[in-house]
Protein backbone atom coordinates (compact mmCIF):
# COMPACT_ATOMS: atom_id res chain seq x y z
CA UNK A 1 0.00 0.00 0.00
CA UNK A 2 1.37 3.42 -0.96
CA UNK A 3 0.58 6.33 1.34
CA UNK A 4 -0.99 9.44 -0.18
CA UNK A 5 1.08 11.55 2.25
CA UNK A 6 4.46 9.73 2.36
CA UNK A 7 6.38 12.76 3.57
CA UNK A 8 4.21 13.51 6.59
CA UNK A 9 5.07 12.14 10.03
CA UNK A 10 2.34 10.02 11.57
CA UNK A 11 1.64 10.95 15.17
CA UNK A 12 2.93 8.28 17.52
CA UNK A 13 4.35 6.18 14.67
CA UNK A 14 7.80 5.71 13.19
CA UNK A 15 7.13 4.84 9.54
CA UNK A 16 5.52 7.46 7.35
CA UNK A 17 4.23 5.06 4.68
CA UNK A 18 2.76 1.60 4.33
CA UNK A 19 4.02 0.18 1.03
CA UNK A 20 2.96 -3.36 0.20
CA UNK A 21 5.37 -6.13 1.17
CA UNK A 22 7.82 -7.40 -1.41
CA UNK A 23 5.98 -10.72 -1.78
CA UNK A 24 2.62 -9.17 -2.65
CA UNK A 25 1.53 -9.45 -6.31
CA UNK A 26 -0.13 -6.02 -6.34
CA UNK A 27 0.66 -2.56 -4.98
CA UNK A 28 -2.24 -0.87 -3.22
CA UNK A 29 -2.73 2.88 -2.90
CA UNK A 30 -4.14 4.40 0.28
CA UNK A 31 -6.23 7.48 -0.58
CA UNK A 32 -7.82 9.78 2.00
CA UNK A 33 -10.08 12.53 0.67
CA UNK A 34 -10.48 14.08 4.11
CA UNK A 35 -14.25 13.68 4.38
CA UNK A 36 -15.51 12.58 7.75
CA UNK A 37 -12.68 14.19 9.69
CA UNK A 38 -12.90 17.18 12.01
CA UNK A 39 -13.70 20.15 9.75
CA UNK A 40 -12.03 22.54 12.20
CA UNK A 41 -8.64 21.11 11.20
CA UNK A 42 -8.80 22.78 7.80
CA UNK A 43 -5.82 20.85 6.45
CA UNK A 44 -6.32 22.06 2.87
CA UNK A 45 -8.00 25.33 3.70
CA UNK A 46 -11.47 23.94 3.00
CA UNK A 47 -14.11 22.70 5.48
CA UNK A 48 -14.39 18.96 5.66
CA UNK A 49 -10.75 18.21 4.90
CA UNK A 50 -8.37 17.09 7.63
CA UNK A 51 -4.60 17.13 7.80
CA UNK A 52 -4.21 13.61 6.42
CA UNK A 53 -5.22 10.02 7.08
CA UNK A 54 -6.63 9.20 10.48
CA UNK A 55 -4.20 7.70 12.99
CA UNK A 56 -3.89 3.94 12.65
CA UNK A 57 -4.85 2.05 15.80
CA UNK A 58 -2.86 -0.91 17.03
CA UNK A 59 -4.36 -4.29 16.14
CA UNK A 60 -3.32 -7.48 17.97
CA UNK A 61 -3.66 -10.76 16.08
CA UNK A 62 -3.21 -14.19 17.66
CA UNK A 63 -0.29 -16.10 16.17
CA UNK A 64 -0.96 -19.84 16.13
CA UNK A 65 2.69 -20.85 15.84
CA UNK A 66 3.53 -24.43 16.81
CA UNK A 67 7.14 -23.79 17.85
CA UNK A 68 8.62 -21.04 19.97
CA UNK A 69 12.43 -21.46 19.94
CA UNK A 70 14.07 -20.03 16.82
CA UNK A 71 17.56 -21.22 15.85
CA UNK A 72 20.34 -19.38 14.04
CA UNK A 73 23.92 -20.02 12.94
CA UNK A 74 24.99 -16.41 12.40
CA UNK A 75 28.56 -15.66 13.50
CA UNK A 76 27.48 -12.05 14.19
CA UNK A 77 25.42 -12.93 17.26
CA UNK A 78 26.55 -14.62 20.50
CA UNK A 79 23.64 -17.07 20.77
CA UNK A 80 22.17 -19.92 18.75
CA UNK A 81 18.55 -19.78 19.94
CA UNK A 82 15.99 -17.13 20.71
CA UNK A 83 12.35 -16.51 21.56
CA UNK A 84 10.20 -13.70 20.23
CA UNK A 85 6.83 -13.48 22.00
CA UNK A 86 5.58 -10.98 19.40
CA UNK A 87 5.91 -10.28 15.68
CA UNK A 88 5.90 -6.62 14.83
CA UNK A 89 6.67 -3.96 17.43
CA UNK A 90 4.67 -0.96 18.57
CA UNK A 91 7.79 0.96 19.59
CA UNK A 92 7.97 2.01 15.93
CA UNK A 93 11.75 2.30 15.53
CA UNK A 94 12.21 3.22 11.87
CA UNK A 95 15.56 1.41 11.64
CA UNK A 96 14.38 -1.91 13.14
CA UNK A 97 16.01 -4.73 11.18
CA UNK A 98 12.95 -6.93 11.90
CA UNK A 99 10.66 -4.80 9.72
CA UNK A 100 11.25 -6.81 6.50
CA UNK A 101 10.07 -9.98 8.26
CA UNK A 102 6.53 -8.58 8.31
CA UNK A 103 6.44 -8.99 4.54
CA UNK A 104 6.61 -12.77 5.06
CA UNK A 105 3.24 -12.51 6.80
CA UNK A 106 1.59 -10.54 4.00
CA UNK A 107 1.89 -7.20 5.78
CA UNK A 108 3.83 -4.04 5.08
CA UNK A 109 7.20 -3.50 6.80
CA UNK A 110 6.04 0.11 7.17
CA UNK A 111 3.10 1.13 9.35
CA UNK A 112 1.75 -2.44 9.44
CA UNK A 113 4.87 -3.52 11.33
CA UNK A 114 4.01 -1.24 14.24
CA UNK A 115 0.19 -1.41 14.05
CA UNK A 116 -0.54 -5.06 13.17
CA UNK A 117 1.10 -7.07 15.93
CA UNK A 118 1.06 -10.84 16.16
CA UNK A 119 1.09 -12.20 19.71
CA UNK A 120 1.88 -15.79 20.71
CA UNK A 121 -0.46 -16.60 23.61
CA UNK A 122 0.67 -20.24 23.78
CA UNK A 123 4.34 -19.33 24.06
CA UNK A 124 4.81 -20.62 27.62
CA UNK A 125 3.15 -23.96 26.89
CA UNK A 126 5.11 -24.39 23.66
CA UNK A 127 8.36 -23.59 25.45
CA UNK A 128 7.67 -26.09 28.21
CA UNK A 129 6.96 -28.75 25.59
CA UNK A 130 10.17 -28.02 23.67
CA UNK A 131 12.33 -27.97 26.81
CA UNK A 132 10.88 -31.34 27.82
CA UNK A 133 12.17 -33.14 24.73
CA UNK A 134 14.81 -35.73 25.47
CA UNK A 135 16.97 -34.37 22.65
CA UNK A 136 17.03 -30.83 24.07
CA UNK A 137 20.42 -29.52 25.20
CA UNK A 138 20.43 -26.23 27.15
CA UNK A 139 22.24 -23.09 26.02
CA UNK A 140 21.26 -19.52 26.90
CA UNK A 141 18.05 -18.40 25.19
CA UNK A 142 17.92 -14.80 23.94
CA UNK A 143 14.69 -12.81 24.31
CA UNK A 144 14.23 -9.61 22.33
CA UNK A 145 16.46 -10.39 19.37
CA UNK A 146 13.87 -9.55 16.71
CA UNK A 147 11.12 -7.53 18.37
CA UNK A 148 10.89 -6.16 21.90
CA UNK A 149 9.52 -8.65 24.48
CA UNK A 150 8.45 -5.69 26.66
CA UNK A 151 6.67 -3.57 24.05
CA UNK A 152 3.47 -1.87 25.31
CA UNK A 153 1.07 -4.79 24.75
CA UNK A 154 3.15 -6.98 27.10
CA UNK A 155 1.80 -4.98 30.04
CA UNK A 156 -1.64 -6.41 29.30
CA UNK A 157 -0.90 -9.77 27.66
CA UNK A 158 1.99 -10.87 29.93
CA UNK A 159 3.29 -13.40 27.38
CA UNK A 160 6.92 -12.61 28.17
CA UNK A 161 6.13 -13.02 31.85
CA UNK A 162 4.81 -16.53 31.16
CA UNK A 163 7.99 -17.42 29.28
CA UNK A 164 10.15 -16.23 32.19
CA UNK A 165 8.12 -18.35 34.60
CA UNK A 166 8.89 -21.46 32.55
CA UNK A 167 12.59 -20.59 32.35
CA UNK A 168 12.65 -19.99 36.11
CA UNK A 169 10.95 -23.30 36.86
CA UNK A 170 13.45 -25.11 34.64
CA UNK A 171 16.43 -23.09 35.85
CA UNK A 172 17.23 -22.33 32.23
CA UNK A 173 19.67 -19.45 31.46
CA UNK A 174 18.53 -16.59 29.26
CA UNK A 175 19.30 -13.04 28.16
CA UNK A 176 16.99 -10.09 27.50
CA UNK A 177 17.34 -7.10 25.18
CA UNK A 178 14.71 -4.38 25.54
CA UNK A 179 14.01 -0.65 25.25
CA UNK A 180 11.41 -0.75 28.02
CA UNK A 181 11.50 -0.15 31.75
CA UNK A 182 8.64 -2.66 31.97
CA UNK A 183 11.37 -5.27 32.42
CA UNK A 184 11.62 -4.19 36.07
CA UNK A 185 8.12 -5.59 36.63
CA UNK A 186 9.67 -9.06 36.56
CA UNK A 187 12.38 -8.43 39.15
CA UNK A 188 10.85 -11.14 41.36
CA UNK A 189 11.99 -13.64 38.70
CA UNK A 190 15.11 -11.89 37.43
CA UNK A 191 16.83 -11.16 40.75
CA UNK A 192 16.89 -14.76 42.09
CA UNK A 193 17.94 -16.07 38.67
CA UNK A 194 20.73 -13.51 38.51
CA UNK A 195 22.05 -14.74 41.85
CA UNK A 196 22.21 -18.22 40.29
CA UNK A 197 24.03 -16.84 37.21
CA UNK A 198 21.09 -17.57 34.95
CA UNK A 199 20.24 -14.17 33.43
CA UNK A 200 21.72 -11.00 31.91
CA UNK A 201 19.87 -7.95 30.56
CA UNK A 202 20.79 -5.30 28.00
CA UNK A 203 18.75 -2.11 27.70
CA UNK A 204 18.89 -0.20 24.41
CA UNK A 205 19.39 3.56 24.82
CA UNK A 206 19.99 5.44 21.58
CA UNK A 207 19.85 9.06 22.74
CA UNK A 208 19.74 11.13 25.91
CA UNK A 209 17.64 13.72 24.09
CA UNK A 210 14.00 12.99 24.88
CA UNK A 211 12.71 14.70 21.75
CA UNK A 212 15.13 12.89 19.44
CA UNK A 213 14.28 9.61 21.15
CA UNK A 214 10.58 10.24 20.54
CA UNK A 215 11.28 10.72 16.82
CA UNK A 216 13.50 7.63 16.59
CA UNK A 217 11.39 5.36 18.82
CA UNK A 218 7.96 7.00 19.16
CA UNK A 219 6.30 4.54 21.56
CA UNK A 220 9.33 3.42 23.57
CA UNK A 221 9.87 4.71 27.12
CA UNK A 222 11.94 7.87 27.54
CA UNK A 223 15.72 7.63 27.89
CA UNK A 224 15.45 8.61 31.57
CA UNK A 225 13.10 5.72 32.30
CA UNK A 226 15.35 3.26 30.51
CA UNK A 227 18.42 4.41 32.43
CA UNK A 228 16.43 4.19 35.65
CA UNK A 229 15.59 0.60 34.72
CA UNK A 230 19.33 -0.09 34.27
CA UNK A 231 19.95 1.40 37.71
CA UNK A 232 17.12 -0.58 39.33
CA UNK A 233 18.15 -3.90 37.80
CA UNK A 234 21.81 -3.51 38.72
CA UNK A 235 20.90 -2.46 42.25
CA UNK A 236 18.87 -5.67 42.55
CA UNK A 237 21.87 -7.75 41.43
CA UNK A 238 20.74 -8.32 37.84
CA UNK A 239 23.75 -7.65 35.57
CA UNK A 240 22.43 -5.09 33.11
CA UNK A 241 24.32 -3.30 30.36
CA UNK A 242 23.44 -0.76 27.68
CA UNK A 243 23.30 -1.05 23.90
CA UNK A 244 23.78 2.14 21.90
CA UNK A 245 22.17 0.66 18.83
CA UNK A 246 22.00 1.86 16.22
CA UNK A 247 24.45 4.68 15.82
CA UNK A 248 23.07 6.82 12.97
CA UNK A 249 25.57 9.12 11.26
CA UNK A 250 24.79 12.82 11.83
CA UNK A 251 21.72 11.95 13.94
CA UNK A 252 22.76 10.40 17.25
CA UNK A 253 26.39 9.36 16.69
CA UNK A 254 27.78 12.36 18.56
CA UNK A 255 26.14 11.05 21.74
CA UNK A 256 28.14 7.82 21.90
CA UNK A 257 30.46 8.88 24.75
CA UNK A 258 27.68 10.60 26.71
CA UNK A 259 25.46 7.54 26.40
CA UNK A 260 28.14 5.22 27.75
CA UNK A 261 28.95 7.60 30.59
CA UNK A 262 25.26 7.68 31.55
CA UNK A 263 25.19 3.88 31.39
CA UNK A 264 28.10 3.60 33.82
CA UNK A 265 26.46 6.06 36.20
CA UNK A 266 23.43 3.75 36.15
CA UNK A 267 25.61 0.81 37.17
CA UNK A 268 26.27 -0.78 33.78
CA UNK A 269 29.48 -2.76 33.44
CA UNK A 270 28.91 -3.85 29.85
CA UNK A 271 27.94 -2.00 26.69
CA UNK A 272 27.87 -2.35 22.95
CA UNK A 273 27.01 -0.49 19.77
CA UNK A 274 25.77 -1.30 16.28
CA UNK A 275 26.12 0.89 13.22
CA UNK A 276 22.90 1.65 11.33
CA UNK A 277 21.76 -1.20 9.08
CA UNK A 278 19.37 -0.64 6.15
CA UNK A 279 18.47 -4.00 4.56
CA UNK A 280 15.62 -4.55 2.12
CA UNK A 281 12.57 -2.28 2.65
CA UNK A 282 14.22 -0.39 5.50
CA UNK A 283 16.27 1.62 2.98
CA UNK A 284 13.15 3.26 1.53
CA UNK A 285 11.44 3.63 4.89
CA UNK A 286 14.51 5.34 6.34
CA UNK A 287 14.75 7.65 3.33
CA UNK A 288 11.12 8.74 3.86
CA UNK A 289 11.72 9.17 7.58
CA UNK A 290 14.68 11.44 6.94
CA UNK A 291 12.63 13.51 4.50
CA UNK A 292 9.87 13.86 7.09
CA UNK A 293 12.01 14.66 10.13
CA UNK A 294 15.48 15.77 8.97
CA UNK A 295 15.17 17.11 5.41
CA UNK A 296 18.01 19.57 6.01
CA UNK A 297 20.55 16.85 6.69
CA UNK A 298 19.12 13.95 4.69
CA UNK A 299 21.82 14.04 2.00
CA UNK A 300 24.59 14.21 4.61
CA UNK A 301 23.22 11.24 6.55
CA UNK A 302 22.86 9.08 3.45
CA UNK A 303 26.32 10.03 2.20
CA UNK A 304 27.87 8.99 5.53
CA UNK A 305 25.90 5.74 5.47
CA UNK A 306 27.23 4.99 1.99
CA UNK A 307 30.74 5.78 3.19
CA UNK A 308 30.35 2.96 5.74
CA UNK A 309 28.88 0.47 3.26
CA UNK A 310 31.29 0.63 0.31
CA UNK A 311 29.04 3.00 -1.60
CA UNK A 312 25.76 1.21 -0.91
CA UNK A 313 23.25 1.50 1.90
CA UNK A 314 23.80 -2.00 3.29
CA UNK A 315 26.39 -4.75 3.53
CA UNK A 316 25.14 -8.28 4.06
CA UNK A 317 28.54 -9.85 4.79
CA UNK A 318 29.04 -11.41 8.20
CA UNK A 319 31.42 -9.36 10.27
CA UNK A 320 30.54 -6.13 8.44
CA UNK A 321 26.78 -5.92 8.93
CA UNK A 322 27.05 -4.69 12.53
CA UNK A 323 30.13 -2.46 12.23
CA UNK A 324 30.46 -1.33 8.62
CA UNK A 325 33.74 -0.39 6.93
CA UNK A 326 35.61 2.70 5.84
CA UNK A 327 36.92 5.78 7.61
CA UNK A 328 33.74 6.75 9.43
CA UNK A 329 33.08 3.19 10.66
CA UNK A 330 36.68 2.83 11.82
CA UNK A 331 36.51 6.13 13.68
CA UNK A 332 33.29 5.08 15.43
CA UNK A 333 34.91 1.81 16.49
CA UNK A 334 37.95 3.68 17.84
CA UNK A 335 35.73 6.07 19.78
CA UNK A 336 33.89 3.15 21.33
CA UNK A 337 37.10 1.35 22.31
CA UNK A 338 38.56 4.50 23.82
CA UNK A 339 35.57 5.23 26.04
CA UNK A 340 35.21 1.51 26.81
CA UNK A 341 38.74 1.50 28.25
CA UNK A 342 38.29 4.80 30.06
CA UNK A 343 35.08 3.69 31.79
CA UNK A 344 36.19 0.12 32.49
CA UNK A 345 33.41 -1.47 30.47
CA UNK A 346 33.28 -5.04 29.15
CA UNK A 347 36.01 -6.43 31.39
CA UNK A 348 34.51 -9.86 31.35
CA UNK A 349 31.49 -11.52 32.90
CA UNK A 350 31.10 -15.10 34.02
CA UNK A 351 29.18 -17.16 31.47
CA UNK A 352 25.62 -18.11 32.28
CA UNK A 353 25.35 -21.52 33.94
CA UNK A 354 23.68 -24.20 31.83
CA UNK A 355 24.39 -26.99 34.32
CA UNK A 356 21.39 -26.16 36.52
CA UNK A 357 18.81 -26.95 33.84
CA UNK A 358 15.96 -29.20 34.98
CA UNK A 359 13.68 -30.41 32.17
CA UNK A 360 9.97 -29.87 32.80
CA UNK A 361 7.65 -32.83 33.01
CA UNK A 362 6.34 -33.57 29.53
CA UNK A 363 2.87 -34.65 30.70
CA UNK A 364 1.72 -31.31 32.10
CA UNK A 365 -2.08 -31.31 31.78
CA UNK A 366 -2.33 -27.54 31.47
CA UNK A 367 0.02 -27.61 28.50
CA UNK A 368 -2.05 -30.25 26.76
CA UNK A 369 -5.22 -28.23 27.25
CA UNK A 370 -3.58 -25.10 25.85
CA UNK A 371 -1.92 -26.79 22.89
CA UNK A 372 -5.16 -28.52 21.95
CA UNK A 373 -6.47 -25.07 20.98
CA UNK A 374 -3.91 -24.73 18.19
Question: What CATH number has the domain bearing residue 124?
Answer: 3.80.30.30
Domain range for 102 is 2-360
Note the pLDDT of residue 44: 39
- Residue 219 maps to a domain: yes
Please say whether the beta carbons of 360 and 339 come within 8 A.
Answer: no
What is the structure's pLDDT at 119? 97
Asked whether residue 307 is domain-assigned, the answer is: yes
Q: CA angle 285-90-207, nearest 5°?
A: 70
Q: How many domains does the chain have?
A: 1
Please list the rounded mean pLDDT of every run of 10 residues in the chain (374 residues): 56 81 61 50 42 73 92 75 95 93 90 95 96 96 93 97 98 98 98 98 97 96 98 98 96 97 98 93 94 96 94 78 88 98 94 96 55 47
Q: Which residue, 154, 146, 108, is CA-closest to 2?
A: 108
Instruction: Note the pTM of the prediction, 2 decimals.
Output: 0.87
Alpha-carbon distance of 134 to 192, in angstroms, equals 27
Inside any domain, residue 365 = no
Residues in the chain: 374
pLDDT attached to residue 34? 53
* Dihedrals phi, psi of 245, to nearest 5 degrees: -140, 125
Distance CA 164, CA 273 (A): 26
For residue 323, what are the CA distances in angstroms to 11, 17, 193, 276, 296? 32, 28, 32, 8, 26
368 inside domain: no
Coarse DSSP helix, strand, coil percentages of the chain, rounded to the nearest 5 percent: 35, 10, 50
**Per the domain annotation, does 369 fall within a domain?**
no
Residues 275 and 313: beta-carbon distance below 8 Å: no
Report pLDDT for 10.
73
Give the pLDDT confidence score for residue 55 in this predicted structure. 66
Using alpha carbons only, give the angle 303, 308, 311 rounded to the nearest 5 degrees. 60
pLDDT at 323: 85
Amino acid sequence: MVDLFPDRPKKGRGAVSNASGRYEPFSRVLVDDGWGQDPTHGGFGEPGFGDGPRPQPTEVIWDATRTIIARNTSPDVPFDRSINPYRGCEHGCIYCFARPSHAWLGYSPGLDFETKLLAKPEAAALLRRELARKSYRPEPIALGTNTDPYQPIEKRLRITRGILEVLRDCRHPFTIVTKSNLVTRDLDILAPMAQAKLVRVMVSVTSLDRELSRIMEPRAPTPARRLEAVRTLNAAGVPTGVLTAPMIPAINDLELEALLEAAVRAGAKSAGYVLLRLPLEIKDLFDEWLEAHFPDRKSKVLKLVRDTREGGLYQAQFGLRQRGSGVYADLLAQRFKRVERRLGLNRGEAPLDVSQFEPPKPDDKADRRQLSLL
